[in-house]
Amino acid sequence: MIFVVLVLALGGIAAGMILVEDSWLQLLLAGGLGVIFTQFAVLGHEASHCQIFESGQANERSGRVLAGALAGISYSWWMNKHNRHHANPNKIGKDPEHRARHRVFSGRERRDPGGALAWITRCQVCLFFPLLLLEGLNLHASRSAAWARVRR
């Protein structure tokens, strides 16, 4: 049901983009697109946990469509990273989520990078939601870096 609502909302925003043509109202519609595509990514995450359908195959197919076609992330790369995270949650050196330089989970991880990164690390609690807005870019950068290592 959520998927149907999101597809209808996506169609509505596409129609709105066409109808308003060159107007500042497109900025509001673009914000709506950001919310909708984020919800598609959340659905892809739920599919990776087999939470949408009873069938594992149906969840995998929907996850591939939601992640690849609608969220723009490689499903196989995401599953590899996500499974490693869930196999070793919060274990330093094993959880891929601990590689982010702007987040610190424990005193052992604390490092003093200096400059703006040090400020972000100290204020990470207050900056959680603004940083979350940039997480999509971080995922794409991580994926690009992983592909570059594979090609070498």
For 84-138, write each residue's pLDDT tens digit.
888 888 777 777 776 655 555 555 555 555 667 677 777 777 887 887 777 777 7
Q: Is residue 19 part of a domain?
A: yes
45 membership: H or E segment, kind and range = helix 25-48
Same domain (yes/no): 106, 147: yes
Same domain (yes/no): 68, 128: no
Q: Is residue 33 part of a domain?
A: yes
pLDDT of residue 19: 92
Count Cβ atoms below 10 Å from residue 114 Cβ, excluding itself: 8
pLDDT band at 37 (very low <50, low <70, confident <90, very high): confident
Same domain (yes/no): 112, 62: no
Q: Does pTM top 0.75 for this prediction?
A: no
Same domain (yes/no): 67, 1: yes
Q: Which domain holds residue 125?
A: 94-152
Q: Look at the chain and report how many structural domains it folds into.
A: 2
SS3 content of the chain, % helix, strand, coil (to 5): 70, 0, 30
> 131: buried, middle or exposed (CB in 10 Å: 19+, 13-18, 0-12)?
middle
Same domain (yes/no): 122, 62: no
pLDDT of residue 146: 66
